């Protein structure tokens, strides 16, 4: 069976960018619910976009040390949304919403990789996203980290983020073989504003890399 690397484009703020991503075959779109981020959207605006997506494109909501009410409000508006937690949230906090979620792991600033036992605390996580930001902060920095630090395969799907773009995503797929890649700044013309040519090129690079892995 052919291997296919899934793609998530994060930092969506405009409907036209979401529509193009969907046309290009993107698997997931990320919406940032963190007011301090330049890519921030409010849940109501994200819902307008999500309600026009294909049922086969998964919306993901990014949170950073949110309140229970903030998360629940977004989930009530967008029942199909998968939460993605970027802060110091505990496994108990993340599990309480009774649905699958992603846990982001910041490995910037020399932060050591978490032990397997630490990751197992997030019982309902359906995957772990490794990013180049400092622990407890959002990604979207445009900088990559040393992928060799990831080491052995994990017990759940690995999503690779941090500084990915058309120039390095093929090497990332070859070296890490992630379940999915997550791109934000690498397909932007400005923060929160996607670049159509960059999106086309990134998707083409991912598909080409998958084909090369099979050769």
Q: pLDDT per residue over 11-61, tens digit each?
A: 999 999 999 999 999 999 999 999 999 999 999 999 999 999 999 999 999
Give residue 149's pLDDT. Answer: 79
Choose the catalytic residue: 17, 94, 131, 182: 131
The reply to whether 10 belongs to the active site is yes
- Please state, for a pLDDT cut of 90, what percent of the chain lies above it: 79
CA–CA distance, 169 with 177 (Å, rounded to integer): 11
pTM metric for this prediction: 0.93
For 54, 136, 166, the CA distances from 144, given in Å and listed in that order, are 31, 17, 13
Under the banding of pLDDT at 50, 70 and 90, the label for residue 2 is low
Q: What average pLDDT does this structure show over 62-70?
A: 97
Q: Taking the chain, what is the end-to-end CA distance rounded to the nearest angstrom? A: 13
Eight-class DSSP state of 40? B
For CA atoms 132, 133, 134, 138, the dihedral sign is negative
17 included as an active-site residue: no
Domains within the chain, CATH numbers bracketed: 6-214 (3.20.20.70)
């Amino acid at each position: 069976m052919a291997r296919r690397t899934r793609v998530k484009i994060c930092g969506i703020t405009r409907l036209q960018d979401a529509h193009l991503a969907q046309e290009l075959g993107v698997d997931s779109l990320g919406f940032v619910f963190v007011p301090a981020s330049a890519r921030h959207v409010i849940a109501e605006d994200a819902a307008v976009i999500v309600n026009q997506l294909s049922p086969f494109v998964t919306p993901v909501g990014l949170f950073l040390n949110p309140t229970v009410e903030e998360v629940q409000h977004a989930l009530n508006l967008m029942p199909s949304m998968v939460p993605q937690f970027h802060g110091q949230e505990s496994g108990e906090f993340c599990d309480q919403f009774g649905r699958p979620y992603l846990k982001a792991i910041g490995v910037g600033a020399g932060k050591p990789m978490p032990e397997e036992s630490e990751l197992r605390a997030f019982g309902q996580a359906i995957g772990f996203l490794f990013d180049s930001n400092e622990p407890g902060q959002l990604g979207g920095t445009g900088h990559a980290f040393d992928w060799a630090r990831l080491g052995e395969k994990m017990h759940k799907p690995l999503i690779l983020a941090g500084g990915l773009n058309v120039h390095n995503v093929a090497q990332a797929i070859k070296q890490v073989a992630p379940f999915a890649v997550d791109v934000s700044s690498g397909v932007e013309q400005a923060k929160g504003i996607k670049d159509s040519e960059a999106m086309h090129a990134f998707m083409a690079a991912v598909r080409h890399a998958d084909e090369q892995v099979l050769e």
